[in-house]
Structure 1
Amino acid sequence: MDFIINLLVTAAVILIMSYAMSSVHVKSFWTALWVAFLTAILTATIGWLLGGLLNLVTFFLLEAIVGLIVTALMLKLVDALVGNFKLDGFLPAFLIALAVAVALAIVGWIRGENEEEEYARLNPKQQTELVYKQV
């Protein structure tokens, strides 16, 4: 369910950015959804390897920036693969990656996906019970 919500949010951001920026061209919402899907798949495969290598170079100090750059590179790769989607340069891809990251963070916050804080508020006995329930 989370994957579908993330895809829809990403597609909406891509479509909104195409209206806001003249250097982003998307034919329809279905194209934006296809771009979101391909970007997610490529980021999970190729981007994961590339992000790992770049994080090793930066000693994991710039992990968020590396994530944005990897997502922007995957958007440029999808630009080359999809005919109805065009990005004029790297900057629009980076801005889309930044907007998607912010939008997904807001959606996650609205949905209450901050499990780490909830886990930290529990006492040790409740934490142990929660871990055993998940296993």
Structure 2
Amino acid sequence: MGFLIRLLVSALAAMLTAYLLPGVHLKSFVTALILALVLAILNILVKPILIILTLPVTIFTLGLFLLVINAIIILLATKLVSGFTVDNFWWALLFSIVMSVIAGLMHSLAGGGNDN
């Protein structure tokens, strides 16, 4: 049940973030749900591989390169989800940051801070 709530919160955060950022376009809430699911799968499967491959750069930048990895995951999601487009890398970077902040705020407001 916690996964479904996080998926819905991520979809709502994606909708709100796409509304706020002019370089990000999201067709509908159903597309946002699919995007949230695809991002969850990419974060489970692809992100750890990218982190391991870029570990020296990540250490050298004191972890800031993880923001670039998040943007790459967003750009990969644009290829997999029809109805979701990001204009360029910088919008993907900003989308990942803003969506993370909004999803975190929404999740804490929903009272989901104590569950695992």
Q: Equivalent residue for 1:57?
A: 57
Judged with a 3 Å threshold, the aligned counterparts in structure 2 of structure 1 residues 8 and 69 are, in CA distance, closer, same or farther, namely farther
- Pairwise mapping of residues 30-109 of structure 1 onto structure 2 (< 5 A)? 30-59=30-59, 62-63=62-63, 65-106=64-105, 107-108=107-108
Aligned length: 114
**Counterpart contact for 2:35–2:77, Cα < 8 Å:** yes
Judged with a 3 Å threshold, the aligned counterparts in structure 2 of structure 1 residues 59 and 19 are, in CA distance, closer, same or farther, namely closer
Of 7-16 and 28-37, deviating more is 7-16
Aligned counterparts of 2:65 and 2:100: Cα–Cα separation in 1: 12
Q: Equivalent residue for 1:111?
A: 112
TM-score by length of 1: 0.70
Aligned counterparts of 1:61 and 1:87: Cα–Cα separation in 2: 25
Aligned counterparts of 1:108 and 1:56: Cα–Cα separation in 2: 33
- What is the CA distance between 1:94 and its match in structure 2? 1.2
- What is the CA distance between 1:114 and its match in structure 2? 8.7
Of 51-60 and 24-33, deviating more is 51-60
**Counterpart contact for 1:55–1:61, Cα < 8 Å:** no
- What is the CA distance between 1:21 and its match in structure 2? 2.0
- What is the CA distance between 1:28 and its match in structure 2? 0.3
Give the helix-richer structure, 1 or 2: 1
Map Cα deviations across residues 58-80 of structure 1 (whole Å, 9 max, x no partner).
327633x3333222211101111
Aligned letter for 1:13? A
User: Greater CA radius of gyration, 1 or 2?
Assistant: 1
**Counterpart contact for 1:47–1:70, Cα < 8 Å:** yes
Aligned counterparts of 1:78 and 1:99: Cα–Cα separation in 2: 16
* Larger RCO (alpha carbons 8 Å, 6+ apart): 2
Aligned counterparts of 1:62 and 1:104: Cα–Cα separation in 2: 24
